Copies of this chain bind each other. A is one copy, B any other.
């Protein structure tokens, strides 16, 4: 056996060993199983991803069937779909039958529908039924995330008997993690839970009902993955049971699937914040045309909305001709509103995602954003006026004219910034609430969307202030 690997950074296992394994696959495939026995399936998946496509099925065939199934679970989604589609339905069925039921159902979703059906047909009856049940659920719901491999025993079982059964199951072929043992009542409904450690610690002779925790945290099969993540994270669980309306245990969701779900959810939120339609694939893998399509929609909508700024400018075209100094500060004034709005939006959408803020908190949020906006606006307004004063005194530019003094221009910029930053903070913080209220995802309140909304209003504020201080 090889020595312990203490730091994954020191020795990038997959990268170093991949060429050796690929060479061995050519020369003596029968040795592959033994040589890779101690490797983590995630690393074996990296090796498979490094080899030519036509080698991958050969590699999988050289591994014991259960190991090959584990490698499939870690393999790049696109690659594994291609590999399975290249196999006969019988070969594919034999392989995926060994997978965890939740991963198996997910994988079938990625395949061509006809091929998926063929593979399901070739499965043993029990596996087929299990797979069909799981595929009924949205892959992003608790039902879609759960695996049907779990350990449950009746609550009146003794500790010793439960331990004996657990050992039998642990020694059987199932590879599932078995962090928790569930107890059921006479009707087969979920009654309690205890960890494997608690089972080991339980006094001999006790019944599980004496030692199990009642009222276990559970989720319904239709709960979305955000809800599942929240229960797991709030209660520091490693596994959460999925329970039907009648109270029967349907499956369990393990924390590793939840981490993946949290990361996907976060990627979606960041993409929405950047005004991109959600990608279902990593950046480098998504086709360039698909990527453009997912960006063009929002960019066009934003452009068309931003055209309202032209409308506002046209409306004030006479004033603009009269006071050209006003024009100079249009980008400055307008972008400050967008910036303060982006800040507020990212703070609030994140606080909503973490459930730190709910719909009914809107007025408390407004009560914080309004005074903050005013103070931030005053800070920016003072900086803006200082800038104009400096240029004027240094003689770098003359903002005055026959009709107005430079001071009027400075005051217009300063007061507009106060109004615009206040409006930006309020609009940016209230838009996520508004979106949620009308049933949209609050994360759709992207920074560019807020900036665009604030641009149009900001321009009106700017010209409004100018009209009062300068043009009247």
Contacts and interface: CB of A to CB of B under 8 A. Distances in A.
Interface stretch (A52-60, A79-87, A123-131, A327-335): A327-335
A25 interface: no
A214 to B, nearest CB: 5
- Report whether over half of chain A's contact residues are helix, strand or loop; otherwise say mixed: helix
A6 B38 contact: no
Query: Quick one: copies of this chain in the complex?
Result: 2
B233 A299 contact: no
Contacts of A4: 185, 189-192, 214-216, 218, 243, 247
B7 A220 contact: yes
Interface string A259-303: 110110011011101111001001110001001100110111011
Contact of A167 (B200, B238, B451): B200
A197 B181 CA distance: 12
A67 B309 CA distance: 61
Interface in A311-340: 313-314, 317, 320-321, 324, 327-332, 334-336, 338-340
A452 to B, nearest CB: 6
B351 A284 contact: yes
Interface residues of A, number: 141
A91 B343 CA distance: 43
Given A4-B190, A4-B214, A324-B320, A274 B331 contact: no
Interface in A337-369: 338-340, 342-351, 354, 356-357, 361, 364-365, 368
B328 A331 contact: no
A206 interface: no
A447 interface: yes
Interface in A1-52: 1-9, 13, 38-40, 42
Contacts of A163: 200
Contacts of A231: 8
Contact of A195 (B177, B266, B306, B344): B177
Enumerate the 10 nearest inter-chain pairs by beta-carbon distance, A residue then B residue, closest first: A274-B346, A170-B201, A236-B256, A309-B331, A283-B351, A5-B215, A447-B447, A339-B448, A282-B356, A313-B328
13 contacts: A2-B215, A6-B220, A179-B179, A179-B238, A236-B256, A258-B259, A283-B350, A300-B379, A309-B335, A310-B328, A310-B387, A327-B327, A447-B448
